[in-house]
Amino acid sequence: MPFTLANAVTLVLIATGSTFASSVLYAGRRAVGQSMPDACTSAPQLSCQNTTTATNTCCTPTPGGLLVHTQFWDTYTGLESEGQILPKNNWTIHGLWPDNCDGTFESYCDFSRQYDERPSPATINGKKVPPYSGPSVDTFITDFGRSDLMRFMKKFWVSQGSTNAHFWAHEFSKHGTCFSTFDKKCYSDYKEHEDVINFFDTVSRTFLKYPTYTWLEQAQIVPSNSTTYKLSDIEAALREGSGATPYLGCKGKRLSEVWYYSHAKGQVQDVDFVPVGTITNSKCPNDGIQYPVNSTRFKVHRYILARASPVLRDMLELPQPRRESTSVGALFNTGIADVPLFNLDGSVAGWEHILALFYRDELFEHIEYTPVQWTEILPIANKYGMTQIEQKGIQVLHQSSAGLEPVDLLLLAREISATELYDQAIAILAVGPMLTGEKARQIGFEGFYKVMLKKHMQWRTDNLYHFPMQAGDLISDGVDLHW
């Protein structure tokens, strides 16, 4: 059944982010197939430095020697249903720009290497930038056999509101063509599109030098939909990590981008940079900066949701505001015209598991989830009244909770009011080792009391022959052990 505007809704899932350091999934490698000019074998020059020596522009970026590596903090892409999703616990690549040493910049410096379908700006120095209509730049990467680079870029160089390939083409055409070290004349045995691949490779390796998420996390600055931060604290954390104060961009009070300035030592492809402080003052507020948690969007059939959840069925029956615009800007902010947009709770993983039950690859495909996966699913099923799914999950965990910490089982049972799972967790904890202070705090006084009471009763049972119960002893008869 195809998606149509008439039968679809868009779910916006606000996922709680865990605080793991940025994953380095890309090994990186030197520019592919490039023959280094002889002059580059000499000591590398630092860009934007006064020198009496004539600069070889193939070996030192000239005039664009003030490099700006830019990253985004987005919360969604708008194309999640097509597999274009944001990486967990990571910022994403915007680009690498060659500003002139005085802070000015050029754009679209070589129309013969222009691969942008919708150039912006459309004219440069009074000349129209010719729109591109040939093969997509992702085919260039494939032709060079760089599957590693493609995987990395799809994960970390992610566009919002347009395809990734369009975004990549824009960044190379507008900025990459203005780097002198990527000029075709710098290659002794140039292969078509080699400069494009080298640029993508260089930007990817540059991104790994600036792990923004990790630097902020180390300063206890993590995404949150409730906590806000000071501009000075964010700048200090990134200055500590990068060696210079970067530019921070905000949309209103929401943190949205960072620019790292540097000078290049030798070719840009060497990724040997000397940090430089920002030349642009931040327009972010001094206090109250929001660093929101990422969200994920799924487009789902109305019928599927209405059948599975009475709560969502009632939500769908409410009048929905009509959105006329289908412009790219509208897609960024409101989803798709005439498609209801719902902000829902629950983890992204939990919703992915639930939707997999609704949209199976094969009609009678049997899907089995682990106990840990059920802990993601059950809170959603309980909150939105998905009774069949909830009953199935409780049944599975009641039969076996292998691989699941008893404390996690108890907390889940309390959240979804599953008495049988709660009793099961208490029983497991009672026969286990003495609870640590941290675990006791997690389960609370009531849970701790019941675990200790059960431990006591088990001890009395085991030792009844040696220590017969005396009149007046505390017993649990008549005490309601449920909650």
Mean pLDDT, residues 56-83 taken together: 90
Q: What is the pLDDT of residue 403?
A: 86
pLDDT beyond 90 at 196: yes
Active-site residue, selected from the candidate residues 80, 171, 217, 376: 171
pLDDT tens-digit series, residues 449-474: 888 888 878 777 766 555 554 544 44
pLDDT confidence bin for 441, thresholds 50/70/90: confident
* pLDDT given for residue 327 in this prediction: 34
Respond yes or no: is residue 171 known to be catalytic.
yes
Residue 258, phi-psi category: left (phi > 0), alpha (psi -120 to 50), beta (remainder): beta
Q: In terms of pLDDT, which residue wins out, 97 or 442?
A: 97
Residue 102 binned pLDDT confidence (cut-offs 50, 70, 90)? very high
69, 94, 166, 301: which is the annotated catalytic residue? 94
The pLDDT tens digits of the residues spanning 357-389 come to 888 766 566 788 999 899 989 999 999 999 999
Phi and psi at residue 363, in whole multiples of 5°?
A: -55, -45
Is the pLDDT higher at 81 or at 199?
199
Cβ–Cβ < 8 Å for 208, 156: no
Q: Over range 20-33, report the average pLDDT.
A: 38
Q: What is the pLDDT of residues 152-185, one digit of tens each?
A: 999 999 999 899 999 999 999 999 999 999 999 9
The rounded mean pLDDT for the chain is 82
Contact between 12 and 295 under an 8 Å Cβ cutoff? The reply is: yes
What's the pLDDT score for residue 390?
94
Is residue 283 within 8 A of residue 249, CB to CB? The reply is: yes
Among candidate residues 69, 166, 170, 175, the one labeled active-site is: 175
C-alpha span between 362 and 356 (Å, rounded) = 11
Torsions phi, psi for 341 (to 5 deg): -120, 120
Amino acid at 399: Q
Per-residue pLDDT band at 139 (split at 50, 70, 90): very high
Single-letter amino acid, residue 227: T
Do 339 and 10 form a contact (C-beta atoms < 8 A)?
A: yes
Averaged over 235-259, what is the pLDDT? 97
Q: What is the pTM of this model?
A: 0.64
Q: Which segment of 63-67, 215-219, 249-253, 364-368 scores lowest on mean pLDDT?
A: 364-368
| pLDDT tens-digit map of 264-319 | 999 999 999 999 999 999 999 999 999 988 766 677 888 888 888 898 888 888 77
Rounded CA separation 389/321 (Å): 31
